[in-house]
């Protein structure tokens, strides 16, 4: 069976991947996940040595790559695992074998960022093996970009354990307290975020961070899983586009021949937080003011990862699980409220709700924000042969946030006016790197993402009530925009890049296909909205000043299931050379 996207058969689209005549360029957003190196090999007499055997070994996994120099003396290695250490060995008949060790190659989207030349000496006299130890040359950047290494990530303090704590190392980044990352002066929603080449953006566009599960104000990935982050603002390569801010590319850890594991636990409670900035009246003691502490809370994050070999030098695994729980008390300082009602009147309002309607509106003196997150990652690296390398990764992220809404001098909310946002993200990825010959290699990346964002009320269904209270407003009942609210999205992506080496030139040709399906359901004020002009109007059961009610003309929504949602899809085919 053939699937059709935008009028193209998948099989027909795939045939375009290897056409040498790809001369068009279209906006793409697939990202690189590997490193590339090249070099020139010549003799001490500046003679170009073609046919020289170059062997590259990734020491932690003993993963071996081999090629030969072309007629111009150049060698190229593409689709390498970022990091190190690497060892390069160069051998040619009649010349002394040369070796360079302890090399590190950062995640890179350009093939000439690491240029490692060799000068071969003729073997005229019997000499011992010469070992040359060198450091990676200074980066040659094409475009504005910043690499954030694993060492920087491990040493940088982070209370929120979120991505913005690490992106702040980028000179052109501006990070706000609500999780927004502005790159090159653009809003955070204009960035593109990728994890192992798979898109991790917020398709609904509501999250300040611009990432999936971002509406819960949590990170799409655990910092313990990150090996390297690269932020590109203006890459020259036409393959990278579809953003006006920056492209944030995250590479996750991989297993090696050595078994490694890590366990972590972080905690924070009210004793680690400061007292109130201004004295407040002590509960139950009128006229007595004190700088109080926050109500008891307990935030914690715990997890474990393990990596190692399944088959030495062939198959490796990496597993991670993390659990995060947070509770953030938000005490309401009544003395700063600019409305007309006193504490006794507000307590009478709560009693009226309970006695008249049998509905408990909750407390207005303290609201709670909470977060609960489960993260799981599995990654397998398989090296079946010298010419084929396969990587499979699967990421699962479920986050649930209790949001109390805005409170302050002009806004007072009862706790059951809060709402719960839950977000689930599933993202499997398969990458196949094939080294066809010393002058041709291919990279195929297949990704799939599935995301669900859901909002739910707290307590039983009840209309949303707003009471104008002088210069302030009182909110109680259900949150009006969270009664019927469900968003689902799924996306499939395929990227294939063929690289051909001709003398000093590298020709890259490829294609990218994306198909996204979305379903957005929102029925605000489904249980009704009532606005009263004064608190006395509500207490005396007077007519409201404003009434709203939204209904579905297609069916009766139940548990966020309805045909009233907006369904739409988008397909895209891009070619580049």
CA of residue 64 relative to chain centroid, distance: 31
The SS3 of residue 467 is strand
pTM of the model: 0.76
Q: Which two tokens stand for residue 271?
A: 């004793």
Q: Which residues contact 359 (CB under 8 A, 6 or more apart)?
A: 353, 459, 460, 462, 477
Contact, 54 vs 66, CB < 8 A?
Answer: yes
Q: Is the pLDDT of residue 314 over 60?
A: yes
d(Cα 130, Cα 145) in Å, to the nearest integer? Answer: 37
Mean pLDDT of 209-221: 86
Longest dimension (CA), the chain: 108
pLDDT digits (tens, 9 = 90+) for 461-505: 999 999 998 888 999 999 988 888 999 999 999 999 999 988 788
d(Cα 40, Cα 76) in Å, to the nearest integer? Answer: 9
d(Cα 238, Cα 197) in Å, to the nearest integer? Answer: 16
pLDDT digits (tens, 9 = 90+) for 12-22: 333 333 433 33
Contact, 38 vs 88, CB < 8 A?
Answer: no
pLDDT digits (tens, 9 = 90+) for 255-265: 999 999 999 99
What are the Cα distances from residue 193, in Å, to 83, 127, 181?
21, 52, 11
Number of H helices, E strands in the chain: 5, 35
> For the chain, what's the residue count?
577
Of 67-76, 101-110, 564-573, the one with minimum mean pLDDT is 101-110
The three state secondary structure string of 477-543 is ECCHHHCEEEEEEEEEEEEEEEEEEECCEEEEEEEEEEEEEEEEEEECCCCCEEEECCHHHHHCCCC
User: CA-based Rg of the chain, rounded to a whole angstrom?
Assistant: 30
d(Cα 97, Cα 323) in Å, to the nearest integer? Answer: 51
Q: What is the DSSP string of 99-124?
A: EEEEEEE---SSTTSEE--EEE-B--
* Percentage above 70 pLDDT, the chain: 89
Burial class of residue 185 in the structure, from the number of CB atoms within 10 Å of its CB (0-12 exposed, 13-18 middle, 19+ buried): exposed
């Amino acid at each position: 069976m053939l699937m059709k996207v935008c009028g193209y058969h998948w099989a027909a689209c795939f045939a375009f991947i290897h056409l040498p005549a790809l001369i068009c360029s279209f906006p793409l957003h697939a990202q690189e996940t590997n490193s590339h190196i090249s070099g020139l090999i010549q003799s001490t007499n500046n003679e170009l040595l073609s046919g020289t055997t170059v062997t590259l070994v990734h020491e932690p996994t003993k993963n071996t790559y081999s090629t030969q120099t072309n007629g111009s003396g150049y060698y190229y290695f593409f689709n390498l695992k970022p990091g190190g250490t690497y060892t390069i060995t160069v051998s040619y008949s009649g010349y002394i074998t040369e070796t360079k060790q302890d090399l590190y190659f950062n995640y890179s989207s350009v093939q000439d960022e690491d240029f490692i030349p060799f000068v071969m000496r003729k073997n005229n006299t019997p000499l011992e093996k010469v070992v040359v130890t060198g450091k990676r040359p200074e980066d040659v950047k094409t475009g504005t970009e910043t690499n954030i290494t694993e060492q920087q990530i491990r040493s940088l303090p982070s209370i929120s354990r979120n991505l913005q704590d690490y992106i702040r190392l980028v000179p052109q980044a501006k990070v706000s307290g609500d999780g927004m990352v502005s790159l090159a002066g653009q809003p955070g929603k204009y960035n593109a975020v990728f994890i192992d080449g798979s898109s991790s953006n917020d398709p609904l566009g509501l999250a300040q961070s611009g990432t999936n599960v971002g509406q819960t104000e949590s990170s799409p990935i655990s910092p313990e899983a990150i090996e390297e982050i690269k932020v590109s603002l203006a890459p020259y390569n036409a393959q990278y586009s579809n953003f006006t801010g920056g492209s944030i590319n995250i590479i996750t850890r991989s297993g090696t021949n050595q078994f490694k594991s890590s366990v972590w636990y972080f905690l924070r409670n009210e004793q680690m937080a400061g007292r109130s900035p201004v004295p407040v009246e002590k509960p139950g003691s009128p006229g007595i003011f004190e700088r109080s502490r926050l109500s008891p809370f307990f935030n914690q994050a715990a997890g474990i990862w393990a990596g190692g070999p399944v088959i030495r030098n062939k198959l490796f695994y990496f597993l991670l699980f993390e659990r995060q729980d947070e509770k953030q008390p938000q005490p309401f300082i009544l003395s700063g409220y600019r409305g007309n009602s006193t504490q006794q009147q507000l307590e009478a309002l709560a009693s009226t709700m309970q006695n008249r309607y049998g509905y408990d509106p909750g407390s207005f003196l303290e609201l709670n924000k909470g977060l609960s997150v489960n993260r799981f990652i599995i990654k397998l690296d398989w090296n079946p042969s010298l010419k084929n390398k396969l990587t499979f990764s699967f990421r699962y992220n479920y986050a649930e946030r209790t949001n109390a809404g805005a409170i302050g001098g002009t806004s007072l909310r009862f706790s059951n006016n809060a709402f719960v946002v839950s977000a689930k993200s599933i993202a499997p990825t398969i990458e196949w790197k094939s080294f066809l010959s010393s002058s041709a290699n291919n990279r195929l990346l297949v990704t799939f993402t599935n995301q669900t964002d859901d909002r739910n009320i707290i307590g039983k269904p009840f209309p949303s009530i707003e009471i104008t209270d002088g210069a302030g407003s009182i909110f109680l009942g259900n949150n009006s925009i969270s009664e019927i609210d469900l968003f689902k999205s799924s996306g499939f992506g395929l990227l294939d890049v063929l690289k051909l080496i001709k003398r000093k030139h590298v020709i890259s040709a490829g294609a990218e296909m994306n198909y996204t399906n979305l379903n957005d359901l929102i029925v605000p004020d489904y249980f009704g909205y009532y606005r009263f002009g004064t608190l006395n109007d509500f207490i005396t059961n007077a007519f409201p000043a404003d009434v709203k009610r939204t209904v579905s003309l297609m069916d009766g929504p139940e548990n966020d299931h309805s045909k009233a949602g907006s369904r739409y899809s988008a397909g895209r085919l891009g070619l580049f050379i």
